Amino acid sequence: MAVVVGYVPTKEGRAALRRAAEESQLRRTKLIVINSHRGGRDFDSQEAQRFEQELGQVQAQLDEVGVEHEVRQLVRGNEPAEDLIAVAEEVDAEFIVIGLRRRTPVGKLILGSNAQRILLDAPCPVLAVKADA
């Protein structure tokens, strides 16, 4: 079993990663960090390199605190919610950790909500974390 966390380099993503690492240590289980992108022409090589560097820093931080982990950068054309749910099913996750941010009602309508999809469709419990103030 494992703890799965959806990670993006934002204050919400960092808060989710911190909490997921804490939970992973408490439960003595592996942490699987997922960074998911749809890809396509909006995802250029410079952006890919930036994310790889960021994920390298994440790995170094987790190594430093002694958390057993695996980092996956997924660019499969899926929505992040689809990738997180698929990985959670694959590894029989204890739970998923996600970061939440405030959105306007119109933003939720136009962009959809990965958090809502994960909360409703995940095969396991979901821990939603707010960013530090």
Kindly list the structural domains of the chain, giving each domain's residue range(s) and its CATH number in brackets, ordered by start. Answer: 2-108 (3.40.50.620)
Cβ-contact 41, 119 below 8 angstroms = no
- Supply the pLDDT for residue 25: 95
Secondary-structure breakdown of the chain: helix, strand, coil percentages, each rounded to the nearest 5: 50, 25, 25
Mean pLDDT of the chain: 86
**SS3 of 83, please?**
helix
Distance, CA of 14 to CA of 7 (rounded, Å): 7
Cβ-contact 95, 125 below 8 angstroms = yes
Distance, CA of 34 to CA of 84 (rounded, Å): 7
| DSSP E strand stretches across 15-117 | 30-37, 69-75, 95-100
Sorting pLDDT into bands at 50, 70 and 90, what band is 42? Answer: low
Q: What is the pTM of this model?
A: 0.85
Least confident of 5-9, 19-23, 110-114: 110-114
Helices H / strands E in the chain, number of each: 5, 5
